[in-house]
Structure formats: structure tokens, C-alpha cells
């Protein structure tokens, strides 16, 4: 089973930036959508951003204008550039990949924004 590996989380002050990356451990064919979700303590997991193979993007209202999702189709890698981070962005961030014969989650990476 292909696993998704995330990196780039950490501790940052409010107003700072982080870049998350997610890459699979093996080949995934016919990827449709790649995305990022997050889950804060005591809250449900929510969509942050997603991107289709054709490059169409969708963002949560709370991150529009601050976060940018991108992907490298050749590497099946998805990125999340997070700028102007706020304390309310603190959460575990999970990548998600949906393909014709695969759907999976990463293990999660912690993002903590201090005020």
C-alpha cells in the first residue's frame, strides 16, 4: 500500500510562513485530486485546500489570500505554502490524495502558530 509522507510542519510566530510537502512512497496512477486538510484539538477535520490534475484550486474561506496549494504532477507531490500564519491555523495538517484506484491520507504534520 502506497503511503503519503508529509514534511514541513513546525512552530512559527504569527505572521510567519511555512511550506508543507506531501509525496507518496510509490507510484500512484490517475490522480484526480490532491489536497490538504487540518484538524485542531476538539474540532472536526476540515478542508484547507485542494487542487485537481488540471490545476483547478479550491480554498477554505479562512485561508484564501494567505495559503497557496500547488502540485508537481511528475513527482505526484503536493505543496501548501502558508503565509501570514495566525494562531487559529494551529492544527495537525493532513494531505489527501484521490486517484482512480487509490485514496489515502498522510500521517499528519503539526503546525503550531504562536501569538
Mean pLDDT of successive 10-residue stretches along the chain, which has 115 residues: 94 98 92 96 97 95 98 92 98 96 95 97
What pLDDT score does 96 carry? 97
C-alpha 17/C-alpha 82 separation (Å) is 5
Place of cell 496549494: 69
Amino acid at each position: 500500500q502506497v503511503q503519503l509522507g508529509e514534511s514541513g510542519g513546525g512552530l512559527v510566530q504569527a505572521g510567519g510562513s511555512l511550506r508543507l510537502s506531501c509525496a507518496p512512497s510509490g507510484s500512484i496512477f490517475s490522480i484526480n485530486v490532491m489536497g490538504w486538510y487540518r484538524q485542531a484539538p476538539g474540532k472536526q477535520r476540515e478542508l484547507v485546500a485542494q487542487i485537481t490534475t488540471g490545476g483547478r484550486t479550491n480554498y477554505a474561506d479562512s485561508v484564501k489570500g494567505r495559503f497557496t496549494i500547488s502540485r508537481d504532477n511528475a513527482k505526484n507531490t503536493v505543496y501548501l505554502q502558508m503565509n501570514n500564519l495566525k494562531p487559529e491555523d494551529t492544527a495537525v495538517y493532513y494531505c489527501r490524495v484521490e486517484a482512480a484506484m487509490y485514496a489515502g491520507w498522510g500521517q499528519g504534520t503539526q503546525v503550531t502558530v504562536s501569538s
